[in-house]
């Protein structure tokens, strides 16, 4: 609901109404704000590490600026490390369980690059196919399934003219499954994200992290986190969907499995 409120006209007004669920939403938002502002204050006071992501944001920010924009960026990083990446990995395990030949190629890369040891940040650029698997998973099941922008001024798009304050909604879920960009779009194929294949598609045929000036600040972090976690688990385990368990996307704040994802872990050994 947090992201959806941003693209609903008069969202600030609606959030103050006594609508079902709004009281809980406001309380939870307040708890998150308290945690974020406390971290910002502790970093400003020098009571936290000086070499983490928040410290780098503080160094890049104008010291005369208030903490609202900083809070928005930190909130993105704070949530992106949990909700979106965990959902992406869940869908990835489901897709691998349905495509054993792709899973086998993933294992081959992990065995070659890692040789049984735990991956680290230096391995990230070498895990090319692992990243392609994650990219294709986010094509089919993007954690951020829809987003919106509010026009700051009147603009034209093709034959249409839109007034200032127009709310424009975009859906990654729909665009990513467009057969014009992705033939046989429901087929899970990491080769769509080879260097050559990506070069043949328009820039915004794939935008799991948005784009432009408001592109997700956590994108680089999310890619590295997702690839390294996937590599860590996949080199030792296979996950198999429990027979008969229903799989259905549920588009809430992120795209999650409506009934969870009940799986059995099998040792590769």
Sequential DSSP letters for 130-189: HHHHHHHHHHHS-SS--EEEE-SS-EEETTEEE-TT-EEEE-HHHHTT-TTTSSSTTS--
The mean pLDDT value of the chain amounts to: 88
pLDDT score for 18: 78
Rounded CA-CA distance 50/58 in Å is: 10
Is residue 4 predicted with pLDDT exceeding 80?
A: no
Residue 2's pLDDT band (cuts 50, 70, 90): very low
pTM of structure: 0.82
Strand partners, 80: none
Is residue 154 predicted with pLDDT exceeding 70?
A: yes
Cβ atoms of residues 176 and 140 within 8 Å:
yes
Q: Does domain 4-267 have CATH number 3.40.50.300?
A: no
Strand partners, 156: 161
Rounded CA-CA distance 232/222 in Å is: 15
């Amino acid at each position: 609901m947090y992201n959806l409120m941003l693209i609903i006209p008069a969202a600030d007004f609606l959030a103050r109404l006594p609508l079902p669920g709004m009281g809980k939403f406001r309380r939870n938002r307040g708890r998150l704000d308290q945690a974020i502002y406390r971290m910002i204050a502790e970093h400003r006071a020098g009571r936290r590490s000086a070499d983490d992501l928040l410290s780098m944001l503080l160094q890049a920010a104008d010291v005369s600026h208030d903490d609202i924009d900083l809070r928005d960026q930190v909130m993105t990083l704070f949530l992106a490390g949990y909700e979106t990446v965990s959902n992406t990995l869940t869908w990835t395990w489901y897709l691998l369980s349905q495509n054993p030949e792709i899973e086998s190629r993933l294992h081959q890369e992990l065995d070659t690059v890692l040789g049984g040891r735990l991956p680290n940040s230096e391995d990230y650029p070498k895990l090319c196919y692992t990243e392609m698997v994650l990219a294709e998973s986010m094509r089919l099941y993007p954690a951020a399934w829809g987003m919106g922008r509010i026009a700051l001024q009147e603009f034209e798009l093709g034959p249409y003219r839109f007034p200032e304050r127009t709310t424009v909604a975009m859906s990654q879920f729909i665009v990513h499954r467009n057969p014009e960009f992705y033939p046989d779009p429901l087929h899970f194929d990491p080769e769509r994200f080879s260097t050559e294949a990506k070069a043949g598609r328009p820039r915004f045929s794939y935008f799991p992290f948005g784009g432009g000036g408001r592109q997700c600040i956590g994108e680089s972090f999310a890619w590295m986190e997702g690839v390294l976690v996937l590599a860590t688990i996949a080199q030792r385990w296979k996950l198999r969907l429990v027979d008969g368990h229903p799989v259905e996307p549920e588009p809430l704040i992120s795209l999650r499995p409506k009934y969870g994802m009940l799986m059995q872990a099998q040792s590769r050994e």
